Every structure is written in structure tokens, then in C-alpha cells.
Structure 1
Amino acid sequence: MKSKLWIVLRKELRETLRDRRTLGMLALVSLLYPLMIGLILHQLIDKSTKTEREGIELAVIGAAKAPTLMAQLGQRNITVKDTAPMDEDAIGQLLHAKKTVAVLRLPEDFVENYQAMRPARVEVWFDSASENGAQRREVEEVLDAYSRNVASARLLAHGVSPAALAPVVVQRYDTGTNASRSAVLIGSLLGLLFLPAFIMTMSGAVDSTAGERERRSLEVLMAQPATTWELIGGKILAISLLGVVGVTVELLLGHVVLKWLPLEEIGMSWSVGWGHLLLVCLVTAPLSLLASALYVTLAMNAKTFKEAQTILSIVMLVPFIPSMVVSFMDLKTAQWMYLVPMLSNQTLAKELSKGGDIGSLPFLLTFLCSAIPALLLAAFASWRMKTERYVLAV
């Protein structure tokens, strides 16, 4: 004889899979997040490597007055475009047209002041609203380096060592790896990959509780020779399967996207192997169970289908509050984070992206922090379902 829980599970799955339009929309939303992460990182890589690929075009007014400076600009892949003198309005129009990163103007008295060893003024005109701030800062770095070189040469000409201007030399040693540096950005983006656990389970939870009540099919289901634990368990398992599939597909697709992107171009890397990724998928399965149990428990309280949708739409945002608080307060990774559902999954993915060995305890805590509340909620919903007056909202 077949288990009654298995029968309820098959019945709920059949009804859920029958609504192909809703499933199609859920699948589209689930696949959208890995592609969105790939697009964000691709744009970041493209923006960071734009200078190396295209170079920097700099308009210079009076370039002949400083040939050494022009040579140093050329060494940094900065193309100097000699420009005729123009007024402020013309410079503004040139910058607004985005044909140049900035305009470098050397005044008429530049050579005179330079030869007299007085401060020779150099004007840098730029548009702060444009997106070429990194290229402009590179131009300013060349100007600063040129100024230091001139100062050093003048000190040597007067018999003074340039080292006198730098009594303390600071040497910086960065022990961070590409993986650890990228963990902050990539770890925060990976939090989106766990969304299907709550998105793909909501519609099924509403339909199998408040929906069945409005269709009057819940009374028929409760009249069957099955315990409330079997009825609730079958519903929760059937609903959670969609979440498990959605999260697994997103994690696998996100892993493929991160492996494909040239993250080393921006000093990042993705070093998570397939073994660790499969473990993450395994310990994330209870998160879908928790979402399903929570939704079913709350939807049973709703008197109408619309009320259940409203309640669950608000509750769906609650699991993301701890992650937002941790991000806002800039808290370091601590052991207690593995005891908070959803936050534990994001923390686990973030720590794995650093490439170090985190041990087995975080995996176990991540699994249990969702599995135990899911079982307690299922038991509570099963106990409440014994009261027909409560379930049928009469």
C-alpha cells in the first residue's frame, strides 16, 4: 500500500505542474538572477579594462610648452591631442560632447614661471558628471609624477638630495589574495541566488491552502483517511521541491557564469570547486523546506486567497533583513551568522568564495538552522490542522 504522504505529494505536484504559465514565469525569474550577476560583473570588467583597450584621449592647449610632460603622458597610453586655444564655453562644450577625458590647458606664462622656478600653473578641465573619473585620475597621477620629477631635478641642481623630502618611506605589503578581495562583492551578489527558495514556493503554498479552501477541495482532502501530519507533510514537500530545483539551477548556472568571466582582469577570482558547490546545494535544500513550511503555516490563517498572497508577499522580505543589517553595519563573519536562516547560506557562499578551508561545522550549522525550524513549523501546522473550524475559517 502506498504511503498517504506520497499520495498527497504526488497530488500537490500534479496540481502545481498543471499551471505551466506560472511555472514559466518562475523559471524565467530564477534564470534571470545568474544572468544579471554575469552582466553586472561583465560591465565592471569592461569598465575597468577600458583604458587598456582604448587608451585615454586628452585634449591639450599649449602642448608645445611642455614637451617632457607630453612624453610622460604618452608613456601611460594617453593620447595627446594638440588643441587650439579656446574659451571656457568652448571647453565646456567639448567636454559635454564626451570626445575627450579632460582638457589640459597650459597658460601663456607657463614657460616663464617654469624657467624662473616659480609654480607653473596647469589647468585641468573636466566634467564630474561623466563616467571617466578613473581615466581622469590617471592623467592627474601623471601630472603629480611630473611635478615630483621636476622638484627632484631642481634639488639635485642645488646640491640637495631629493631624499630629504621623504624622511619616512612607507612600504605596503598586501597579503590578500584575489579570492579574498573578491569575496565581498561576489559574496553579496551570491545572496540573490537563494531567492528561488522563497519565490518559487509562495504560489504553491497559497494555492494549496487558501486556494483549496476557496475551491472547497480542502474539506474533501481532510475527509480522507490520512493524518494531518501526512497532509501537511505532503504539501510542504511538494511545494519545497520547486524551491530546491530553482536554487540548485541558479547556483549551478551562477558557478558556470563566474568561471567563464575573466575576473582576473579586475583582481578577482572564483575558486569554488564543484565539490563544494554541490555541498552548498545540499545544505541549502532545507531553506526551501523552511520557506514552504512558513508559507503553509501562515496561509492557513488567511481567510481568502488574496489575503494569503498579501501576507506572504510581506513575509518573503523578512529573511533578507539580517543580511541587510549585517551589510549595513559592516559586521565581520562570526559563528552566530550560521545560525540564522538565509544569512547562513549567504555567509557560507561568501566564505567559500575566499578559497580557504572553512571546515565542516559551517555546512552542518547551515543545514540545521533551516531544517529544525522547518520541522517545528510543519508540526505546528499539522497540530492546527486538526481543528477543522480553524482551517476552514468558519
Structure 2
Amino acid sequence: MSGRAKFVVVFFKELRETLRDKRALGMVLLFVLMYPMLVGGVLQQQISRALKPEKEGIELTVIGAARAPTLMAQLKQKNVNITTAGPMTEEAITALLRTQKTAAVLRLSDSYVDDYRSMRPARVELWYDSASDNGRKVGDIEHVLRSYGNTIAGARLLAHGVSPATLHPVQLQKYDTGTSASRSASVIGTMLGMFFIPAFFFCLSTAVDSTAGERERRSLEVLLAQPAHTRDLVMGKWLAASCVSIVGLTLELCIAHAVLKYLPLEEIGMSWRLSWLDLLYVCVVSLTLPLFAAALEIALSINARTFKEAQTTASFAIMLPIVPVIVVPMLNLNTATWMYLVPVLSHQTLLREMAKGQAVGLLPFVLTFGASLVLALLCVAFTQRRMQSDRYLMSL
């Protein structure tokens, strides 16, 4: 047989064994569904939180509500449900807030009416629990209180013949040029990297079993004794593991894209405008990431004597590409060319820039595709040289 035929035989042999392994297929199915559902669940929770106050209103407990009927009317106009209460101690207010039955407690001082009539600052206390999930609701209540105070101040100035504009010598007008797509990419930019991390887990079982697993079962020695070049063995095992990862990553990206398209992101001021054609470009560029993932895991597993040892080593090693994906967004760095040279980070950056609806250019695609391919070939070359060494053969 020719060298090409031997390589194909090894490829189909490893692929057939992988398809028989229910554990490997179960891992692929788990990660195909887990990350898209996880991101979708997080975004759906944010959407639900944004819509809940609009549908149900904001629950507010007011102590001394009769002292400010105009304020109470303005709060009700802003969809705030008011529950009146009698005098309460600080401990009682704290206990009430911990029950999560009310977003905040508004307490008007006993001297509120006298201070208001005398044009002195009328004291209003707003009690809330910053550790709860009512931060947005409390912010809405504060906005109503500020608007109410500004309205009273303007009316008092007019009563004294002074224009309310005197309090605002500078008028600030803000214009937001950011699109919903760019806001979406900025908010969920960190999440996008999660879609590419499973590429390392899809091929983990296949890569470890075809190297350290066969070494532990003493079948690798038999393979090396066959009339086949080491290059054919390495290429066959590498591409078989890569094939599993490519299929898993492609399915995962398609499911993630469908989930983001389905979610009503417009309710939280965002959108997902990536088209299926754009996703096809991303999938093509991402073909080299599974190649690198499989090559790296095979290069690490080839030196392990047992399946468990190889799995532990590879599991720790594949955490390295995850570090830049987490650290770089935390540093709030601007997009730079060097980011497209780091696997996983390059894919995250490319997908984020495409999601913004901006013209990315050809260079990021080339660097993203080429960086992972070069690293994959280096790992394959290392594995081939390692298997050809006399020291390695003697250790079998």
C-alpha cells in the first residue's frame, strides 16, 4: 500500500473506534449543548429581569405616605406599587428588605410637612438591600425622587420670579452613536470565547485513548511494528481526533447562533445581527482550532504511560488557551493585531468584531486561521519525532 493508503487506514480505524466509544460521544453531545444553553440561559435571565418591573411594577413600602400625596401620585404614574406602613424601627426595615417582598422602603421624616412648607430640605430616607437583585428597581425609584425634587425647585424659583434655567448654566445633550449590535458584542464579548473552548474537550477522549490508552493496552507497540511510517500513524490519529472536534465545534456554533437569533435581545437594548453566511466564514476559519487542539493533546498524551495520567496532563494543559480569553476582556484592552495570533482569543476577537457589524478585513481571518495551523503542525512534528526516537521505543 502507498503511504497515503496507510494513513487513510489508520484514520478510519481510529474514527471507527471513537464512534464505538459511548463515553466520547457523550462528551461531544454534552459540550455541544452545554455552552449555547448556558449563554442563552444567562441572557434570558437578564431579559426576564428587564421585563419584570415593566409587567409587574416596582414594589415600594412607604412610611408616612400621607405626608406627600403628590410624591405618591408621581410614583404610581411610574408603575411603582405603593404599600403604606406605620412607624418601623431600623431592625424591622432590615428584616422586611431581607424577605425580598419589597424593592425598597421609603421613610418620610416626621417634620416633612413643616420643612416642605417652610421651604427647607424635607428629609426622605430610602432604605434598600444592595446585596439583592433589586438594583435596577431602586435606581428607577431614585430617578423619580430626583425628578420630583427638580420639579419642586423649579416651581419655587418661578414663584420668586427666577427662571429655573438659572440652576442649569450648562445644558448637556448626549448622543449615543453605538448600535445595538456593538452593544451586544461588548456585553457578551467574554461569553463568545466560551463557544470555542469546547474544541479542546471534543477531541480529548479520542486523542488520549489513541495514544496513552493504546500504550497502556500494549497495542501501540504492535502498531509501530507494522510496515507503516510513523508519519502515517501520527497523521491518522491526529486527523481522527480532529474530525470529532470539527464536527462538534461546528454543531455547537450553529446551535449558539440559533439561540442568539431566537432570544429577544432587543428588550435589553441589544441584537445579534450575525448572518448564517457570516457564521459560515467563522466555521471555516475555526477549522484549524480543532486541528491544534487534537495535535496538542496527542503531543502531551504520547509521553504518558496510562490513560489516566494522559487525561490529567492534557486537562491541565488545555486550560492555558482559556486564560487569555478571561484575562484580556478584564483588562479592557482595545482590539489589536496580536490578539489574532493567540488561539481561542483570536476566534473570540474575530467573532466579537463581526458581531459589531463592522468591516473586519482579510488579515484577521488569515491570522486566526494560520496561527492555529502553525501551532498544530509544530505539535504534530514533535509527536512524530518523539515516536521515532529509540528512547521512546525502548520505554514501550
Q: TM-score range by the shorter chain?
A: over 0.9
| Distance in 2, Cα, partners of 1:376 & 1:132 | 52
Percent identical pairs in the alignment equals: 56
- Alignment partners' CA distance in 2, 1:26 and 1:310: 18
| Superposition deviation, residue 42 in structure 1 | 0.3
In the other structure, the counterpart of 1:115 is 117
Structure 1 residues 319, 90: closer, same or farther in 2, change over 3 A? closer
- Alignment-derived partner of residue 389 in structure 2: 387
Secondary structure in structure 2 of the residue aligned to 1:318: coil
Matches within 5 A, 1:177-192: 177-192=179-194
- What is the alpha-carbon distance in structure 1 between the residues aligned to residue 210 and residue 285 of structure 2? 26
Matches for 1:1-394 after TM superposition, within 5 Å: 3-391=5-393, 393=395
Contact 1:205–1:296 (CA under 8 A) maintained in structure 2: yes
Q: Alpha carbon RMSD of aligned pairs, Å?
A: 1.6
* Separation of aligned partners in 1, 2:318 and 2:144: 51
Q: Which moved more, 1:345-354 or 1:77-86?
A: 77-86
Q: What SS does the corresponding residue of 1:103 show, helix, strand or coil?
A: strand
TM-score, normalising length: structure 1: 0.96
Aligned-pair CA distance for 1:93 = 3.2
CA distance in 1, matches of 2:23, 2:207: 17
- Taking the aligned partners of 1:6 and 1:211, their CA distance within structure 2 comes to 21
Residues 73, 142 of structure 1: 8 Å contact kept: yes
Q: How far does residue 286 in structure 1 lie from its aligned partner after superposition?
A: 0.8
- 5+ residue gaps, structure 2: none
Question: Which digits, 9 at most, give the CA deviation of each residue in 1:213-269, with x for residues without a partner?
Answer: 121111211122211111100000000111111111110000000000000100111
Match of 1:3, SS?
A: helix
Task: Tell me the CA shift for residue 129 of structure 1.
Answer: 2.7
Q: How far 1:146 sits from its partner (Å)?
A: 0.8
Distance change >3 Å, CA 291–CA 181, structure 1 → 2: same
The residue identity in structure 2 corresponding to 1:360 is: L
SS across alignment from 1:141: helix
Once the two structures are superposed, what CA deviation does each residue of 1:323-351 show, in whole Å capped at 9, x if it has no partner?
23312322111111111111111111111
One-letter amino acid matched to 2:155: A
Deviation at 1:64, TM superposition (A): 2.2
Q: CA deviation at 1:157?
A: 0.9
* C-alpha deviation, 1:67, in angstroms: 1.7
Given the superposition, is the C-alpha separation of residues 76 and 261 from structure 1 closer, same or farther in structure 2, using an over 3 Å criterion?
same
CA contact (8 A) 1:197 1:244 kept: yes
Distance 1:81 1:305 in 2: 64
Secondary structure in 2 matching 1:104: strand
CA contact (8 A) 1:58 1:78 kept: yes
Give the drift of 1:388: 4.5
Say if 1:388 and 1:17 are closer, same or farther in 2 by CA, change over 3 A: farther
What's the offset of the Cα at 1:303?
A: 2.9
* Residues in 2 aligned to 1:388 and 1:10: alpha-carbon distance in whole angstroms: 28
Residues in 1 aligned to 2:125 and 2:326: alpha-carbon distance in whole angstroms: 44
- 1:142-165 Cα offsets, whole Å, 9 max, x none, are 111111111111111111111111
Cα 1:312–1:142 change in 2 (3 A) is: same
Q: Distance in 2 between matches of 1:318 and 1:91?
A: 48
Q: Which has the larger displacement, 186-195 or 298-307?
A: 298-307
User: How many matched pairs?
Assistant: 394
Instruction: Please tell me whether the aligned partners of residues 190 and 326 of structure 2 are also in contact (alpha carbons under 8 angstroms).
Output: no
Which letter maps to 1:324?
A: I
CA contact 1:213–1:392 (8 Å) conserved in 2:
no
Q: Deviations over 1:277-330 (max 9, x none)?
A: 011111111111111111111211223333222211110101112223312322
In the alignment, is the contact (CA less than 8 A) between 2:31 and 2:202 conserved in 1?
no
